[in-house]
Homo-oligomer: A and B are copies of this chain.
Amino acid sequence: MTTTTTRVGIVGYGNIARGAEIALQAADDMELVAIFSRRSGITSASGTPVFTMDQIPSFQDKIDVMILCGGSANDLMEQGLEIGRYFHVIDSFDTHAKIEEHFTGMDRVAKAAGKVALISMGWDPGLFSLMRLLGEAALPHGKNYTFWGRGISQGHSNAIRRIAGVADAKQYTVPKEEYLERARNGEMSDFTAQESHLRECYVVLEDGADQARVENEIRHLKNYFEGYETEIHFISQEELDRDHAAMPHGGFVLRVGETQPQEAQVIEYNLRLASNPNFTSSVIVAYTRALMRMAAEGKNGCITIFDVPPAYLLAKSPEEIRHLL
């Protein structure tokens, strides 16, 4: 199968960007042309030239698609609206409550520009979203469960770090085996994320900080720890750096349903990831390929994982892909 090479740019240069850089180097049908960062003077791991953000519009004839690797909280909505005017874009926007707003904005920009914007790609949202949809399709009378972990939640780690007296922290989200087993056994009940997850915190105190107060503040942090079973371990910075530097993650999507009364059918999808950002990026790169195929067919506007025909994910001919049947 002959494919033209897709010219790719990366916007931002954090963990997801570095993962995309690795994944693109392994993809024969894609070429990483440039990386764009807010900071100047950066060199990239692959030797790809790094430019500043304001140079992005000048790459209109040199880049087909931009992988937007900024954060959901502050970067992606704004950057997408700007960069989506010039390029196809793909992002990993994961603020669930704002996805519809982001979709609407990106759809308008992409349609006006005749471009495709693929938002909220990765594993959750992303592959896990697809599993929730497939589960509902296969077993309409049923229930979806999502469990996250064991893995580091950046949001929860940051929330702990913002507490006065905390020098550093890492927080692991851990699914409770008991609830996983209940879902696996075909139980259809309404347990909450609070009930079914444990929060495991590793906290480094500043000199002289009040351990009891910090512990109390963590336990009562609304939207983060309140309502959760929370384990707090105070350790040294050396221990944190030595034992908690990796970025493992994972999780589970289960669909539990019945095709007839008392006829339990259980679908489980799970991930065990040594590197959360590198897996996320690898998925994003595969969907970048699919986005280009859809763009070549004349598609424009904002899309999600739900719109993508799976065959477009591989750089193989239809015949080769059918061998996977």
- A residues sitting closer than 8 Å to B (CB atoms) are 19, 22-23, 26-27, 96, 99-100, 103, 120, 125, 127, 129-130, 132-134, 136-141, 184, 186, 259-260, 263-275, 278-279, 281-283, 286, 304-311, 313-314, 319, 321-322, 324-325
Contacts and interface: CB of A to CB of B under 8 A. Distances in A.
Given A99-B322, A100-B322, A125-B325, A263 B278 contact: yes
Contacts of A274: 259, 263-265
30 contacts: A26-B140, A26-B141, A27-B140, A99-B325, A103-B322, A127-B134, A127-B138, A132-B324, A133-B310, A133-B311, A133-B324, A137-B313, A138-B279, A138-B282, A138-B283, A140-B286, A259-B281, A263-B274, A263-B275, A265-B273, A265-B274, A267-B271, A268-B268, A268-B269, A268-B270, A304-B311, A304-B322, A304-B325, A305-B310, A306-B325
A322 B134 CA distance: 13
A314 B22 contact: no
A152 to B, nearest CB: 16
A129 B325 contact: yes
A140 to B, nearest CB: 6
A259 B266 CA distance: 30
A138 B100 CA distance: 25
A252 B57 CA distance: 47
Contacts of A23: 259
Nearest to A99: B325
A286 to B, nearest CB: 4
Nearest to A321: B306
A259 B19 contact: yes
A275 B259 contact: yes
A272 B324 contact: no
Contact of A310 (B99, B130, B268, B283): B130
B129 A324 contact: yes
B322 A311 contact: no
Contact of A309 (B184, B266, B273, B307): B307
